[in-house]
Structure 1
């Protein structure tokens, strides 16, 4: 589906995306699982949008995520040995796209919006909750690095409905 506008067309879907029937069965399975959208930042500063992640409760609690080993975020996190994780909400779609490299970032990734400093990395001022994590290990896993970190600090804020990534699009929980 497209809409005609002067000088071009606006697509309802990504015109450059690999057609569903040409994707691997594993990628198709992954695409059918909803995932929370988070922002991982490290001192430097550097950051990356991450939806392939989970939080494991325990003593200590842990964060696990699949990270692009060629990203600026990974270079900074590995060098610092720590990073921050902030769940994003529905109002953060452009922020998520900017840190995923899907939108331009004139002046750098951190030039837009307001940020609060932390020893773990900058955190968006709009983040309701965030965690400070100490890097523990990493290993190759599929297309990425499986990064494991110990949660050292949790700054709980008011609950914010999560931004969800599902089948290449953003959504939010209803109800």
Structure 2
């Protein structure tokens, strides 16, 4: 975990592209993949990552396009299994989002910070009202990220999503 003394989207940042990205904002999602128990338990390999750089493309086979950290454990497990769970986070999940982003302490690992239900696509956050089971279709390097395209295999849209967790200019917002 790295804690910086300055705000990553401060107006003093000379990179206009980074400042523009920070103002775009979006919904906060948690991507999880792998199987077994909590990370490190019984040799099970599972990984998760907080992701805000994504979009849904509709068509005969709807897909999600997302930018993932090329060094993330999530990307490695997604490549190995070809499947993941994408869940929308809500305002009460902001500490969990920080834990999976690696910006807040997570004693015992981030999967021990909330209850998860095992699925064939990976651990599903039990409290998530809206989530999708996805299958990896393709990937490519884009800038400092890896753009993944995942097909939506099954989508559950909850009636009671609560306050959506949004991210803009380095801060969480209630949506």
TM-score, normalised to structure 2, is: 0.87
Q: Please state how far the C-alpha of 1:17 moved relative to its aligned partner.
A: 2.6
CA distance in 1, matches of 2:143, 2:136: 20
**1:127-142, aligned counterparts within 5 Å?**
127-142=128-143
Aligned to 2:125: 124
Aligned to 1:57: 58
Task: Please give the root-mean-square deviation of Cα atoms over the aligned residues, in Å.
Answer: 1.3
User: How many residues in Structure 1 have an aligned counterpart in Structure 2?
Assistant: 160
Aligned to 1:39: 30
CA distance in 1, matches of 2:160, 2:146: 30
- List, as ranges, runs of 4+ consecutive aligned residues in structure 1 with deviation greater than 6 Å: none
Aligned to 1:6: none
Aligned to 1:16: 6
Q: Deviations over 1:60-89 (max 9, x none)?
A: 110110000110101100000111100101
Q: Please state how far the C-alpha of 1:150 moved relative to its aligned partner.
A: 0.6
SS of 2:155 mapped into structure 1: strand
| Structure 1 unaligned spans of 5+ | 1-13
SS of 2:134 mapped into structure 1: strand
Bigger CA radius of gyration: 1
Q: Please state how far the C-alpha of 1:167 moved relative to its aligned partner.
A: 0.7
Q: Which deviates the most, 127-136 or 153-162?
A: 153-162
CA distance in 1, matches of 2:77, 2:140: 17
Aligned to 1:165: 167
